[in-house]
Amino acid sequence: MTTDEQQHASGLRDWARGSTTLVAATELLIRSGFAQEWRPWVHYDEDRQRPWIDFDEIPDLIGGKSGGEHRLLMIAASLGGTVPIVLGDKVAGLDRVRTELVSIALIHAAGFTETTSDFVFEDDKPHRVDVPPLASWPEVSVE
């Protein structure tokens, strides 16, 4: 990724921060190669300083994409916007790479990509334990 692309991705991550579903959907698009500034669903504020994604626009703008690309984009649109999907229809047919990204996005949306604490009972007494994340985003973006 070039410096400009890294800055763009960083701006999108900053914009999405605060909502696990928005972060998950944004990261899914970044890591799958669908968040570049020239994508029709990527917009900028009036000063062209801050990028943002209109997830609700995606379904109308993805003609000509492969089946796997279409499925991934619709899942991202549902996670980040108000687009209703039948998840089973979208997951069936994803390749291994896209399945990994979608799976991690769903785990992230549920809030399980960080180490958390939980209680376990030993001898009928609760004890706090650290619980590892269910998954982490791959180190390298898949494009």
pLDDT digits (tens, 9 = 90+) for 32-54: 999 999 999 999 988 878 999 99
Which residue in the block uniquely carries the two structure tokens 């269910």?
A: 134
What string of DSSP letters covers 28-94? Answer: HHHHHT---TTSTTEEE-TTS-SEEE-GGGGGGG-TT--HHHHHHHHHHHHHHSS----HHHHHTT-
- 142/136 Cα distance (integer angstroms): 14
Of the pLDDT bands very low, low, confident and very high (cuts 50, 70, 90), residue 23 is very high
- Helix or strand or coil: residue 22? helix
pLDDT of residue 140: 57
pLDDT of residue 117: 84
Q: Name the average pLDDT for the chain.
A: 92
Looking at the predicted structure, is the pLDDT value of residue 142 above 70? no
Q: What is the pTM of this model?
A: 0.88
**Which tens digit of pLDDT belongs to each residue from 49-106?**
899 999 999 999 999 999 999 999 999 999 999 999 999 999 999 999 999 999 999 9
Q: Return the CA Rg of the chain.
A: 17
Whether the pLDDT of residue 118 is over 90: the answer is no
Residue whose pair of structure tokens reads 């007494």 in the numeric block: 125
Distance of CA 66 to the CA centre of its chain: 19
> Does the structure show a pLDDT above 60 at 141?
no
| Beta strands 51-53; 42-44: pairing state | antiparallel
